[in-house]
Structure 1
Amino acid sequence: MEDTMKQMRLRGIVIRLLIMSAFIATALPAAARTDKPPTAQETLYERQPAPAARQITVGVLIFPGFEMLDAYGPMEMWGTLKHAPAKVWGGEEKRVGVRLVTIAAKRGEIPSNQGPKTMADFSYDNAPPLDFLVVPGGLGVFPLLNDPATMNWLRAQAGKAGIVMSVCNGASLLAAAGILDDRPATTNKMAFHPSTAPGPKVKWIKKARWVDDGTVVTSSGVSAGMDMSLAVISRLYGKDIGAWLERVTEYDAHRDPSWDPFAAKAGLVE
């Protein structure tokens, strides 16, 4: 009986050893694979992109007292486009290069509402032809509402640029210039009434993150300019490009133009 028990215990030990050996034999190749250097991964961001088949120029109007994120949020989105790999574009022949320029009444350093200055690359007189124009808002908008040079320059750009975009009360400038007459548009909700006053003929929309009216796109306050920019870029170049921009900028975008909790907080809607 005792011999039988010893044989059973010995058999159990042998079986466990065989199982352990099999497990180790299976695990070692996997571990070896883990330790190997990773294979070349797909390029997500072209650090030094080659010249693209097509080039566009995006101009950003700046003025004393402009709101920094109104301008720099869209600039981040448009300026990053050139780093998208050809595969995201759908082929090398579809890649678009972006030239981003800043424009003011006069070339030079322009103080923002927050304090830091931004260099205006061009003045109204020597600005290059623009494919797209971004007009930010800020406290500095109000002195420009009756400035003939700014109004004339905006009207001229609206007739040439493919799309004119505004952020926050940058829409007030477009309204004062008559660019928004009889068109739907939106603006900052916390300052909705003073912002809409220059545009009695505009079809102001109280609740909207942004309003896309084809050649003119307006957005709500400050951060809304990034959502608007992503929406316009996605419309022009495809959702894959928009999704890529969200990923590389680590930005959780609002994709619904009607999303606007700030309209209720401002008492504009119930």
Structure 2
Amino acid sequence: MLSRITVIVFILLVFAAITFSVVTGQNDENTTNQNSSSQNIKSQPGQCVVASQPEGNQKSQSLNPELPTIGVLVVDDVLLTEVAAPFDVFGKHDANGNQRFNVILIGKEQRPYLSEEGLTLVADFSFSNAPPLTALIVPGAFQMQEILEDQTIVNFVRKSGQDAEYLASNCAGAFLLGKSGLANNRKIVTYVGGGQVLRSTFPKLKVQNDSNTTHVIDENIISSNGNLTSYISALLVLEKMTDKSHRKYVESQLYLNRLKKWNGELE
């Protein structure tokens, strides 16, 4: 009798051990599959995997320390073309396929900004972590008065503009240059119809007639009416920083010659 009980107990123990082994193996397999799936999501090309980041902790753009850095200011209600133009111009590689510049977007905070036209632009750097700039480009914005009253923005433009080799403004960006004092006793132009207000607000500026002046070069300060003429100011700064042949090459990549040929009529 005791022998039979011993055999039965032994069989039950063996069965329990086998069952435990199978269940454990299944759990390990599920865990392995989950880890494998997670690794596949991270490493598999072509998949959109969005990892959430705390606000204000965005990863800054990596820069080539051997290249000049072009900083473009971004604010709320910024005019889109006046940001896009310098990126379009300075972002073009040269005839040999070489990158010539770092081009970055700098905001008061490193966050998304909504342009006047409704496109969201995300700042690469904030004022606090922006690198030294070779050139600073200041676009216009729809709510320019609010920007002029923001002393943090004014101080950044003043400090970065003083340290930069070149300074450019488009459209109402000229008002920010006036507020910073960087353009005192220098020739400058603003948006069409805005010259009189610019002159009365900042009498130390040598404001040019915007009715017949598209752009102005005064040594290292370049200004334009803004909008599509922002391409002109960007190309002028580009030529100063490189040479005429590279500017011509970039113009060809922009198909600027095609635009010059257009007579404004629909065919």
Distance 1:138 1:231 in 2: 22
On the 8 A contact 2:104/2:124 being kept in 1, the answer is: yes
1:69-80 alignment, distance < 5 Å: 69-80=81-92
- 1:85 corresponds in structure 2 to 95
Distance 1:235 1:155 in 2: 21
Please, what TM-score do these two structures have when normalized by structure 2?
0.68
How many residue pairs get matched? 196
- Which one-letter code corresponds to 1:85 in the other structure? A
- Which one-letter code corresponds to 1:84 in the other structure? D
Distance verdict in 2 for CA 1:172–1:156, change over 3 Å: same
Instruction: Please report the RMSD computed on the Cα atoms of aligned residues, expressed in angstroms.
Output: 2.4
Q: Secondary structure at the match of 1:165?
A: strand
- 2:68 corresponds in structure 1 to 56
- Which one-letter code corresponds to 2:222 in the other structure? V
Distance 1:226 1:103 in 2: 19
- 2:78 corresponds in structure 1 to 66
Distance verdict in 2 for CA 1:197–1:130, change over 3 Å: same
Deviation per CA, 1:216-268, whole angstroms, max 9, x where unpaired?
1111131111011112212331111111111111014999xxxxxxxxxxxxx
Deviation per CA, 1:68-92, whole angstroms, max 9, x where unpaired?
0011012100111xx21349xxxxx
On the 8 A contact 2:166/2:220 being kept in 1, the answer is: yes
- Which one-letter code corresponds to 1:123 in the other structure? S
Runs of 5+ consecutive residues of structure 2 not aligned to the other structure: 1-62, 261-267
Equivalent in 158, 162, 168 of residue 161 of structure 2 = 158
Equivalent in 131, 140, 143 of residue 143 of structure 2 = 140
1:242-253 alignment, distance < 5 Å: 242-252=247-257
1:1-270 alignment, distance < 5 Å: 54-80=66-92, 83-86=93-96, 97-206=100-209, 207-252=212-257
Q: Secondary structure at the match of 1:69?
A: helix
On the 8 A contact 1:54/1:96 being kept in 2, the answer is: no
Distance 1:158 1:229 in 2: 16
- Which one-letter code corresponds to 2:242 in the other structure? Y
Runs of 5+ consecutive residues of structure 1 not aligned to the other structure: 1-50, 88-94, 256-270
Deviates more, 1:208-217 or 1:177-186: 208-217
Please, what TM-score do these two structures have when normalized by structure 1?
0.67
Distance verdict in 2 for CA 1:56–1:171, change over 3 Å: same
Deviation per CA, 1:94-113, whole angstroms, max 9, x where unpaired?
x6621111111111100101
> Could you tell me the percent identity over the aligned residues?
24
Distance 1:195 1:229 in 2: 22
Distance verdict in 2 for CA 1:125–1:197, change over 3 Å: farther
Q: Secondary structure at the match of 1:159?
A: helix
Larger radius of gyration: 2
